[in-house]
Structures are given as C-alpha cells and as structure tokens.
Chain A
Amino acid sequence: GHAPEPDQLFRPPSPPPPQRAPGWTHSGRVDPRHGVQLTFALRQRGAQRLAQIVDAVSDPRSPRYGQYLSLEQVRDLVQPSPTTLLTVLKWLQGHGVENCQSVTTRDFVECHMPASTAERLLPGAEFHRFVKGQQSTVRSPRPYTVPDELAQHLDFVSGLHRFPPERRGSSSTRDTKDVGSGQPPRGVA
C-alpha cells in the first residue's frame, strides 16, 4: 500500500513543566467496536490557480485587490475531480463505511466507523487510547497505508497520529520556566 504520511511523527506531546498536569499516558488498545471518526483530505484541483488568485486579491498593487471569492467560487476552483470523489467513496463503501459527510468545498470527507473497520480500511493502523487527566483520545501509534490506487486521490487521513494541539502561548508561571532556561525570573520580582 501507499503511506501518505511516512514522515508523521507519532509522539504524545511531551508533558508540560513539572508543576503542571502529567502528559498523555497509554491505556491500551480500544475495543474493535469502539467508534472512531476519520477525516479524509481529498486531493484538490486548481492549487496553482488558487495561489495566483490569492496573490492578486491580497496585493494592493493588483487591479484585483480586495475582489475576494465566495465559498462557492472557492469550491468551484478546488473541489476534487469526479474521479477522485468516486474512487474514494467506492473504497469507503467497499469497506461498509456509509456514515460520511462532506463539506461545502467537497475536499474533506468525515466518516464514522468502528475501529475494526478503520483498521481494515487503513492497513497498519491500530487504535489505542491515551489519557491525560479528564481527557481521552484515540490514536494509532503505527503508520497507516491506503491502497496504491488511492495515492493520487488522497492527501492524508486525519484522526490517526496527531494529538490535540498544545497551546503555544500564555503562561502565568513563566518565573518557574525561567529557572530551567537559565533566564532571569520575571514578573514575580
């Protein structure tokens, strides 16, 4: 099969500084009947044209500056080809995946299915649960593949490897972080 994301790191985010809550801990493989939600990023068309349009509508020197597109116009530009849509939907249906919905731009398909189906659909994937405090998330620590014939129709599948994002930002305890970083404490002083 084809691995769309061979370079995607599988790594639960490192635990935050010691005074905070612990990081994600593995709590075992999920029941095969457990429901998972996967998002399929379908290959779009018109990326080059889209880049040209963005340049034109965002550059104050361009005569098209500020002439933005509607969502429907964006859809007409980027929506996947009928072949892509058919190939992906046929593949999903072939595995009994029927509970799916798309978005206006038709370039994402979101589907619900049991973990066992997802593991058959994406050979290599294995769904495990990770917990952090009250939060629980299901991810695959192993890389997934898709059939070769889908390589040109699918960018990636979401819901397997990347953990919920860590906030890049505010802290009211920078003084403690500073101790470890060798920087002078601020704020509290």
Chain B
Amino acid sequence: FHLGVTPSILRKRYNMTAGDVGVVANNSQACAQFLEQYFHQADLAEFMQLFGSSFAHRSQVDRVVGHQGRGKAGLEASLDVEYIMSTGANISTWVFSNSGRHESQEPFLAWLLLLSNMSSLPWVHTVSYGDDEDSLSLAYMERVNLEFMKAAARGLTILFASGDDGAGCRRVPGGNHTFRPSFPASSPYVTTVGGTSFKNPFLVTAEVTDYISGGGFSNVFPMPQYQAAAVGRFLRSAPKLPPGSYFNRSGRAYPDVAALSDNYWVVTNRVPLPWVSGTSASTPVVGGMVALINDRRLGRGLPPLGFLNPALYRLAGGGHSDAIYDVTHGCHLSCLDGTVQGQGFCAGPAWDPVTGWGTPNFPGLLRALLAP
C-alpha cells in the first residue's frame, strides 16, 4: 500500500535493490531546465531525508551550468533533480540551467550551444520540453536534429519527455482534425519517454497507460530503420487504429520507452507536494536508470550506452522479455471529435505509440545492456 510515487516505490516496481547505486567516479548525469526554473539544494536534501533512506544516495547537485536564480524553487526543476537522483542514485548530477538570461535568447538553443562547446559532459541528459511540430520551421527542426546526431556521435544519451497531450490534436485547413506530434520528442536521434500509471493507484501493481502520455508519428522525420520492424508490427496487428488521415504512418514513431508518470511526491520550497504528474516525471526516472547502467558498463571498461534506441529496439524486439514490462492496457488522449472521440492510440503487446516498448525491469535491462 502506498500514498503516491516516491523513490522507494519506483525502485520497488522496477526491481532496483539497495545495491543498485552508482559506484564509479567518472560517471555523471544531467537534467536541463529552461525559463526561470530553479531547484534548491535544501529541497533535495529534505527530499532525500524523507524518501531516500532505503538506498545510498547523494543529497547535493554537483554542478550547475548556467545561472541559478535566487527566487523560489520551481516544481519542475525540483522534480527532475529529485527523481534522476533517485534511480540514478549516488551518481554525480549536473543541472543545466538555461533561463534565457538575455531577452532575445532562445533558451533551448542556448542549451544546444553548451553541448557544442563543452568537451566534457555527463553521459546522460534528460529534458522535458517540447513544441508542436507544426509551429516550428523545417530548417530549425532539421538543424536541431543534426545537433542530436552530434551528441549521439559523442556517446551522449539524450532523453525527452513525450509530452502530456496524448496524440495531440490540430485542426487543419478545411476543418478536419489530425494528431499533433511534438518536437524534439519526434526526433529520430533522441530517446523519448512516455508515461504510465499503476493499475491500482495505491498498490505497487502492474502498469497501464497514463492517458496523457504523448505519442504518435512525426510529420517531419521519416521512420528510422531501427524501429521499422517494431512499428510495422504494431500497425499491422493493432486491433483498432485511428483513421489514416490523422497520422503519418511512415513517420518517426514515439515514445520509445515509458515509466510511471502519475502521483509523484516532490519537495519544493521545503514543502512535500503530492499528485505531481506528467511525462516530465517519467523522463528523469528512466534517465537515472540509463546512467546507472552506464555506471556498470564503465566499471567493466565498456563504453557508455550513447544513443540508446538501436540497442533498445534490438533487445526489446529480440526476445529479452525480462528487460521491459510490456504495458498493454489503455489508450491516450486525442481530438474530441465525432471520428476518434477523444481517443488516440492504444497500448498493445510489444511496441506501441503510447508507452513505446513499456517500462524498465531494471535487472533485466541491465543484463541485456551489459552484454557486448
């Protein structure tokens, strides 16, 4: 029985033991903040005091890159830091704080510039930011996608929240509706994280989809080879699909993976707050686990995981069934119209555009990703 998601609930659900904490010195993880979103070290310390007694952890962010204002802590910044340090426990953590200090700066681009300018960076980065694809220029999206390729070539893992609007919805000229993919979640060179809920919200049970979990098919980026088989299988075998006019079945499909995204506890401005939800909660949870797998790989002299998707799709599609909990129940939101009646895609066996492959079973995922 529990009254919401805390680090111990996550670690229990994803089968992380007290020994699943970072041990190597040259490992690190990071989350990126935009706008005036700041975290307070005191909130993190209090969070760990309240919720971190069952595992070795750090209670301090080691490095802040950028400007940390002195104002109140932001809920989102607190959430990211507290949960990446709960699954990626005892791993050195950085925060990139991109407030867009200059009035004409684009904070997201400022973060990309930092990546292009720092030779030594954490191996794992989590970001909870997105725009509708249709609001951005093609030139911008293609270039940002290329920046993710640069990061991938360097061995960085970049995880994006899939968004909290399900498949999204847009009215196109003529009055019809289509789904509305989100970028950078739809970039083929990032790993996108969707959301789930406990089937029974007060017990550590199996997971079902969180109906807000962002997912769908890009209208800009074609489907990459690494996911073609998995997505093709979904499109062929789903018992019910939205009409083809609502989505681009040959586009990059997301999310890739998911984790719990509902009813988190967060300490912000010294106050523990319940009911915090969204894929920005699930993203640092997965990020911390990837950082922990990197920790084990680095400890064995192996390179870090880098761009995760080719390995993820290979292992999940190749019968490593104990690496992932397949989430097969529930659908996500979309257009409230007579055709789809608010329903986007539905989860099903193997990959689906609501929860990707599903949620991590840490020991299985670790085993699979430690293999050469």
Contact = CB atoms under 8 A, between A and B. Distances in A.
Contact of B104 (A8, A37, A70, A104): A37
Contacts of B189: 54
B65 interface: no
Interface in A1-44: 4-9, 11, 35-39, 41, 44
Contacts, number: 224
B206 interface: no
A172 B143 contact: no
A21 B138 CA distance: 31
B154 A74 contact: yes
B139 A67 contact: no
A128 B262 CA distance: 39
Contacts of B274: 172, 187
A105 interface: yes
B307 to A, nearest CB: 4
A54 B263 CA distance: 37
Contact of B137 (A7, A11, A47, A70): A7
Interface string B251-269: 0000000000011101000
Contacts of A152: none
A181 B333 contact: yes
A57 B275 contact: no
A33 B114 CA distance: 28
A43 to B, nearest CB: 9
A161 to B, nearest CB: 8
Interface of B: 34-37, 75-76, 79, 100, 102-109, 113, 116-119, 128-131, 134-140, 142-143, 146, 149-150, 152-155, 161, 163-164, 182, 185, 189, 201, 211-212, 214, 226, 262-264, 266, 273-281, 283, 302-304, 306-311, 314, 333, 336, 342, 372
Given A58-B310, A162-B108, A187-B275, 4 more contacts: A47-B149, A105-B150, A168-B279, A172-B274
Interface of A: 4-9, 11, 35-39, 41, 44, 47, 50-51, 53-55, 57-61, 65-72, 74, 77-78, 103-105, 107-108, 110, 127, 129, 134-139, 155-156, 158-160, 162, 164-172, 174-175, 181-183, 186-188
